[in-house]
Amino acid sequence: MFERFAVAALAAALMATPAAAQTKIPPFKDELFRYPELTAARDNGAFLDVPYDEVRDIDRRDEIPERRVTRAYVDLAVGRAQDEALSTPDGEAWVSSVGRTRDAELIVVFMHGRNGDRRLGMNDWTFGGNFNRLKNLVVRANGLYVTVDGGALGPSDAERFAAAVTFIADRSPRSRLVLACGSMGGHLCWQALLRPSLAKRVSGVVLLGANSRVGDLDPVLAARGGTPLPLLLGQGARDKVYPLAVQHAFYDAVRRRAAYPIRFVAFDGGNHGTPIRMIDWRDTLNWLLQQR
């Protein structure tokens, strides 16, 4: 039922806003990655409560739990990632990418959290194969998927990240640009979005097990000239790093603003890393891309 609702809403939005880019993500392994029957949904579909079960979602899904998913979840036809060192005014930024480096219709950039690097978001076999699905979804939509080294995730790293992503987006000036930020990488993304040259290019942000505050959003909106920034938050109910209650309060505060484009996906029983494993990337990207 939920997927039919999402597709119908997407079609209506595209008809209502002909000036918007017509990017739509086609199906890929939906039967394996779509959400199970929801525990609850409210706020007209803006808040989703998705059940999470380690026996079903790790033990039965992975060949080696949390290290290697079973083969059915992975398609390697997308090819190997290409590494590149980008020279920016803020220093050298290492990136990995698959897909169209120029004239892409969609660009998705993933920023890792603490103790990670660009390899995390390119790993086909961990997190239940969800990064492999993301790569395939983006490439099959004539897009480019990129991961970036975030270093220590500090202010200088945020500047370098912003410069690198802007450079990549400039190669495909008509693309839709989505940032996906995991854990502490969310803080780096909020910092990078203070740069107007990046903030004005972004079509949406996905925050997975990350920390967000209203104080982060307002200066980013100012950098965008007041244009709302579509947000999708994924959070585990048992997250001890960034508690769900705090992130839900952020969602509530932002949603109270007139028709603000925000969605919250709570994983009932999930922990800090659950959203990266369980987020339905096709549903997520299509929801973001339908926003004005």
DSSP 8-state assignment for residue 27? P
Task: Check if the beta carbon of residue 122 is closer than 8 Å to that of residue 81.
Answer: yes
Rounded CA gap, 261 and 64, in Å?
A: 38
Rounded CA gap, 281 and 62, in Å?
A: 19
pLDDT band at residue 15 under the 50/70/90 scheme: very low
Closest Cα partner for 89 from 151, 156, 153, 146? 156
Interval 117-163: pLDDT, tens: 999 999 999 999 999 999 999 999 999 999 999 999 999 999 999 99
Which stretches does DSSP call E strand in the chain?
40-42, 47-51, 62-64, 68-69, 82-88, 91-99, 106-111, 143-148, 176-182, 202-208, 231-236, 262-268
Rama region for 45: left / alpha / beta (φ>0; ψ in -120 to 50; rest): left
Interval 232-268: pLDDT, tens: 999 999 999 999 999 999 999 999 998 899 999 999 9
Q: Bridge partners of 15?
A: none
12 pLDDT more than 90:
no
pTM value is 0.91
- CATH number corresponding to 2-290: 3.40.50.1820
CB under 8 Å to 112, separation ≥6 — which residues?
A: 118, 120, 121, 147, 150, 182, 183, 185
Which pLDDT score, from 0 to 100, does residue 22 have?
Answer: 59
pLDDT band at residue 21 under the 50/70/90 scheme: very low
DSSP 8-state assignment for residue 159? H
Size (the chain), residues: 292
Rounded CA gap, 221 and 205, in Å?
A: 13
For the chain, the structural domain boundaries read 2-290
Backbone angles phi, psi at 196, to 5 degrees: -55, -35
